[in-house]
Amino acid sequence: MTRYMTAGAAALATTLSFGTAALADTTPDLRGIWTGSYTTVGPNRTTTGDAPRFNSAEWVLDIQKQQDNVFWGPSKWRSSGTSDWRKLDATGTISLDDPNRISIVESSANPEIGVNALIDARYQDGKIYADFRSLRRGTTYSTVLERQVN
């Protein structure tokens, strides 16, 4: 019986190592600085009367750590024409069944802010195509992030 259990454990370990190797072969390495610009629309009408608020802005996602299919890095954005960056943290995962599908949560260390946004993204042709949905202010936008080369 012990011989069969040992053989079974060895077979399972081999299968898992092939699965991990396959994941490593197909999972993109997203580490690096990604930038994009976009136009956003928000429902806040306090300064625009009855019209929704449109803004041009830029986003920088700095993926500093990645382990297998999960990653972390600072996320910052600012409206065009201002120099003040709003800084948050981004945690993300690359789908196990589709290595081009990415989910990102943007959050703040400040408990009053907490989770700021959910981002659905797709990695394609060396770019990240991201759809942003704010959980706090109702802001939405889509952008293409391109990796910056030093």
Decide if pLDDT at 55 tops 70.
Answer: yes
Sequence-separated contacts (24+) of 69-76 with Cβ below 8 Å: 69/23, 69/27, 69/93, 69/94, 69/95, 69/96, 69/99, 70/94, 71/30, 71/31, 75/106
Q: What is the pTM of this model?
A: 0.77
Neighbours of 78 (CB within 10 A): 15
Each domain of the chain, given as residue ranges in start order, spans 30-147
Q: For 79-126, what is each residue's pLDDT tens digit?
A: 877 779 999 999 999 999 999 999 999 999 888 888 999 999 999 999
**Closest alpha carbon to 39 in 60, 59, 57, 53:** 57
C-beta separation of 146 from 127 below 8 A: yes
pLDDT of 18 > 50? The answer is no
Class (C level, CATH) for 30-147: mainly beta
